Structure 1
Amino acid sequence: MTFHTPDRIKIPPGFWAGLRELGIAAHDVVRQARLPLTIINGPAGVTVAQYFAVWQAYSDLVGDISQGIIKLSTAFDTAHYPPSVMATYHARDYRDALNRMARYKQLCPPESLQITEEGESCRIELDWQRTEQSGPAMLVGITFATLLELGRRGSEQPLTAKLVEFSQPMGDVKSLETYFGCPIRTGTECNRLTLRRRDLDCPFVSYNEELLEILTPALDRTLDERQYGRSMTETVKWIMKRSLTGGRPDIQTVARELGMSDRTLQRRLTDEGTSFKQLLMQARHEQALEYLADPSLEIKEVAFLIGYEDQNSFYRAFRSWQGDTPSHWRAEHIGPNIPTTITLAR
């Protein structure tokens, strides 16, 4: 069972290098996203909302979503990929590469991949970790294009997809159909890439057993540490944040997901100096600040996303957390000069 998702997302230097190949300066993207320039080389990483803002800014600067997807996917040098992605290019075959990509995506949130092989098809659905928000259309398209490029570059075969489904508009669909080599559907219920199952057997000419023997144990150790290295407090809070939209998570539900009794869970939390009620309040508080930092969300939507059916109840809770109203806090913090950090009121 996976418990952990990193709090911050590190944007690999290769992303900025890829933009330079397209003639787009990193600082222009960051300014378009209305974020501090320190995120370009900052080791701390960015929040999910900031990560989505960067991709939306790239989309806005390029203009057409489809062209932005195709240009960045084909221009990106695999040498710039982080080790978690590099390992997939040296897999035994396309199936091995895709499975590695899905596994190691857990090290690079917020994307989450679910792979299903059935009949003559392999379906890959894209979902999001640690947030109920959907990522920008550009990020969805780039993710699917990267998966197809993985097969094309690794096998050195002109592979095509069977079908690509996007939940959002994608610009020039005809261009995307030419790139993916298949029909493109938009406005669907989920984001899904469907491949031919037989293509998964394509061996990779870039297969490097010796390199995988070095990379795989190190990546697996890192993944295991991130999955299980958190305290019970952090683990419970992460589960809460993931479940807030469905209402107020109760201790029985969380304990069941962790494979323990609610009494054992409460005892573990007490040992760490906290309680389930305190963590729920903290989870709602932290998610509220993250959602309010996204100007596209209305206040009533933020209230719903953190489990409040009544907007007035959210206002009262927020005032107790921050000593301010959600609307005034947003006006103070979201503007031309967005702070690099958000501090919770104590």
Structure 2
Amino acid sequence: MKFQSADRIKIPQGFWAGLRQLGIAAHDVARKAGQPLTIIAEPAVTTAQYFAVWQAYSDLIGDTAKGIIALATGFDTAKYPPTALATYHARDYRDALKRMVRYKQLCPPENLRITEEGESCTIELEWLYTGQPGPPVLTGITLAHLLELGRRGTGQPLTARFVEFSPDMGDVQALEAYFGCPIRMGAQGNRLTLYRGDLDRPFVSYNEELLEMLTPALDQSLLEQQRSRSITGRVKWIMKRNLTGGQSDLQAVAKELGLSDRTLQRRLTDENTSFKQLLTEVRHAQAREYLADPSLDIKEVAFLIGYEDQNSFYRAFRLWEGDTPSNWRVKQEDWRSTLVTEHSGQVNIMPGK
């Protein structure tokens, strides 16, 4: 069982079979996505192709919410790849979610973070190795799949506590009926919040023998992936994820990687970089991304990239860009406005680029 590299993603054959059940032909999706028909049989595709396929499915079915619910409820569990199939045979909902979070690492570009606090369990979706988020329908399918996992595994009509989406997801009332809870659009992130008590519910589909067969192969694939992925990429990903929480110091990152401080420093040196340099690169990139969002003020941006005070952020940004964050933001907005005017709004402008 081989893992996929950062920009090589496997589309399970079960996906195409699921589309057929919905009356959507695979070749129609390929054409709509602007891809050759051979993509249907490709062992792996690029992130751009992966996103294009999902967007094509959304366009063909019409409404994003409809596409999410139809595929989440109509997909045959038996057609899932081993990484997902193993979760359906876990001991309980908590075990299943932990397995899903763990094995999701084998299926970029999506990543899941799970947090249990009080009476809630929150699962946040992140996009890895991409300069942009995935199509809204893929975001919705990923979170719906997590609730569907609990429903099918426990055999109970579980509902979520709250769901948040960054993009517009179409028919919000249909989604609220499906998730059984309020839906918030335009949020800062994509999150599914469950009732923590539901995580203790046992799975009627628990199969210890099947797990004993699947788990070693999946764990080995995950280990091979972690060993082969560059330490630089892994460190930058952890830094980006942990900036706001203030857990991006050397000790915290080394602990998460299962390495000593000295070993981490040595491996970064072997890749011709340093922890300090990577932290600077991540903060710089995130600062540009956040400043492109006019809804965030400068203080918020400083906090989001791990600075305790605004002055420290100003000093750092001047070193990076030769200007203050405020001036840089104004110049970027002027530049985008000029481009839109010159091209009559017919181009897709990527902020901050």
Same fold (TM > 0.5): yes
Q: What is the correspondence of 1:71-110 to structure 2 with a 5 Å cutoff?
A: 71-110=70-109
Q: Which residue of 1 aligns with 2:60?
A: 61
Separation in structure 1 between the aligned mates of residue 201 and residue 98 of structure 2, nearest angstrom: 14
Q: Is the 8 A contact 1:166 1:185 kept in 2?
A: yes
Amino acid at match of 2:111: S
- 1:236 aligned to 2:232? yes
Structure 1 residues 71 and 257: alpha-carbon distance in aligned structure 2, compared to 1, 3 A threshold: same
Q: What is the correspondence of 1:246-285 to structure 2 with a 5 Å cutoff?
A: 259-260=261-262, 264-265=266-267, 268-269=270-271, 275=272
May I ask how many residue pairs the two structures share in their alignment? 266
Q: What is the correspondence of 1:75-224 to structure 2 with a 5 Å cutoff?
A: 75-224=74-223
Q: What is the correspondence of 1:300-311 to structure 2 with a 5 Å cutoff?
A: none
Q: Which residue of 1 aligns with 2:7?
A: 7
Offset, 1:254? 9.6
Taking only the aligned residue pairs, the percentage that are identical comes to 63
Q: Is the 8 A contact 1:164 1:185 kept in 2?
A: yes
Write the deviation string for residues 153-196 of structure 1: whole angstroms up to 9, x where unpaired.
01000100011110111111001111111111100111010110
Amino acid at match of 1:185: R
- TM-score with structure 2 setting the length: 0.68
Offset, 1:268? 2.6
Q: Is the 8 A contact 1:132 1:242 kept in 2?
A: no
Structure 1 residues 261 and 33: alpha-carbon distance in aligned structure 2, compared to 1, 3 A threshold: same
Q: Is the 8 A contact 2:162 2:193 kept in 1?
A: yes
Structure 1 residues 84 and 136: alpha-carbon distance in aligned structure 2, compared to 1, 3 A threshold: same
Q: Which residue of 1 aligns with 2:24?
A: 24
Q: Which residue of 1 aligns with 2:327?
A: none
- TM-score with structure 1 setting the length: 0.70
Separation in structure 2 between the aligned mates of residue 184 and residue 49 of structure 1, nearest angstrom: 28
Separation in structure 2 between the aligned mates of residue 125 and residue 16 of structure 1, nearest angstrom: 26
Separation in structure 1 between the aligned mates of residue 251 and residue 130 of structure 2, nearest angstrom: 21
Q: Which residue of 2 aligns with 1:35?
A: 35
Structure 1 residues 255 and 237: alpha-carbon distance in aligned structure 2, compared to 1, 3 A threshold: farther
Structure 1 residues 50 and 267: alpha-carbon distance in aligned structure 2, compared to 1, 3 A threshold: same
Structure 1 residues 61 and 156: alpha-carbon distance in aligned structure 2, compared to 1, 3 A threshold: same
Helix, strand or coil at the partner of 1:170: coil
Separation in structure 1 between the aligned mates of residue 59 and residue 91 of structure 2, nearest angstrom: 38
Write the deviation string for residues 202-251 of structure 1: whole angstroms up to 9, x where unpaired.
11000001111111111111100110134xxx44356569989xxxxxxx
Separation in structure 2 between the aligned mates of residue 207 and residue 196 of structure 1, nearest angstrom: 21
Q: Which residue of 1 aligns with 2:246?
A: none
Q: Is the 8 A contact 2:153 2:203 kept in 1?
A: yes
Structure 1 residues 237 and 149: alpha-carbon distance in aligned structure 2, compared to 1, 3 A threshold: closer
Structure 1 residues 238 and 202: alpha-carbon distance in aligned structure 2, compared to 1, 3 A threshold: closer
Separation in structure 2 between the aligned mates of residue 262 and residue 192 of structure 1, nearest angstrom: 32
Separation in structure 2 between the aligned mates of residue 47 and residue 97 of structure 1, nearest angstrom: 28
Helix, strand or coil at the partner of 1:124: strand
Helix, strand or coil at the partner of 2:168: coil
CA RMSD of aligned residues (A): 3.1
Separation in structure 2 between the aligned mates of residue 184 and residue 262 of structure 1, nearest angstrom: 42
Q: Is the 8 A contact 2:29 2:57 kept in 1?
A: yes
Offset, 1:132? 3.4
Q: Which residue of 2 aligns with 1:336?
A: none
Higher relative contact order (CA 8 A, sep 6+): 1
Separation in structure 2 between the aligned mates of residue 12 and residue 137 of structure 1, nearest angstrom: 20
Separation in structure 2 between the aligned mates of residue 266 and residue 180 of structure 1, nearest angstrom: 44
Q: Is the 8 A contact 1:90 1:209 kept in 2?
A: yes
Instruction: Find runs of 4+ consecutive structure 1 residues off by over 2 angstroms.
Output: 4-7, 234-244, 253-269
> Gaps spanning 5+ residues in structure 1: where?
245-252, 270-274, 285-307, 311-346
Write the deviation string for residues 131-164 of structure 1: whole angstroms up to 9, x where unpaired.
2311111001101111111001010001000111
Structure 1 residues 212 and 263: alpha-carbon distance in aligned structure 2, compared to 1, 3 A threshold: closer
